[in-house]
Structure 1
Amino acid sequence: MSSQTYSISDLARELDITTRAIRFYEEQGLLSPERRGQERIYSPRDKVSLKLILRGKRIGFSLAECRELIELYDPTSGNQKQLHSMLAKIAERREQLEQQLLDIEQMKLELDTAEERCIQALEQTIKGEEIAQ
Structure 2
Amino acid sequence: MDQAQNSKSKRIPPLSIRLTAGERALLEQRAGCLSLAGYIKSVVFAEDAARYRSRRQVPEMDAKLLAELLAHLGASRMASNLNQIAKHLNQGTLIVDPDLDSDLKAAATDVAWIRSTLLQALGAKS
Band of TM-score, shorter chain: under 0.3
- Between Structure 1 and Structure 2, the one with more helix by share is 1
- Between Structure 1 and Structure 2, the one with more strand by share is 1
